[in-house]
Amino acid sequence: MKILLITIYTFILLISSVKADECTYSYIAKPEESKYTKQFSINTDREGHAVRIFSIENTYKNKKKNCEGVSLVKEFNWGYSDYINKSGPVKGHVTQIYSDGSKIFLTFEGTSQNPGGTKNFTNVGFSNITGGTGIYENISGYGLNKGEFNPETGYSNFEFTLKYTK
């Protein structure tokens, strides 16, 4: 019985030591680091309804390092939105490039609103990490974001938090 308990205890210790550590990495995409590279909007037959596609490129100047000791240097976002009176869902894809050349791939979705016709839109969203390369080859996890943007002026300011394991 004693040997069985020792074996079970050792097995539990081994499994818990193999479990990957979760990393939480937060960063900000500042307005001066973000640029709409393309966008196209189509008005529909309903008043105030538009369907839009866009691409945003972020070049990060802050070299804040994550859990692996590398920093995010570039990010490409491709998305589409379906707005009624400048409020509605947004979805898309993201590729992040880190200082060692590794990449993280994500999908995102969120809800944008233009409360009371303010100058900027607000957005709250969720990202799903779908894969990676280099040190992120076996990555899994998710991200959360919130921010403000204005497609007409090109303004974009977002806070992101990624939680992942490798």
The pLDDT of residue 17: 43
Q: In what order do the strands lie in the sheet with 155-165?
A: 23-29, 155-165, 140-150, 121-132, 103-113, 88-98, 72-84, 49-59, 34-43
Q: Is the pLDDT of residue 15 over 80?
A: no
d(CA 157, CA 164): 23
11 or 94, greater pLDDT: 94
CATH number for position 93: 2.40.350.10
- Separation of alpha carbons 123 and 134, rounded Å: 31
In a domain, 40, yes or no: yes
How does residue 47 score in pLDDT terms, banded at 50, 70 and 90? very high
Query: Which domain range does residue 70 map to?
Result: 21-165
In a domain, 9, yes or no: no
Return the pLDDT at 85.
Answer: 86
- Residue 30 inside a domain? The answer is yes
Q: Which carries the bigger pLDDT value, residue 66 or residue 118?
A: 66
Number of domains in the chain: 1
Binned at pLDDT 50, 70 and 90, residue 9 comes out as low
- Each residue of 55-71: pLDDT tens digit? 999 999 988 999 999 99
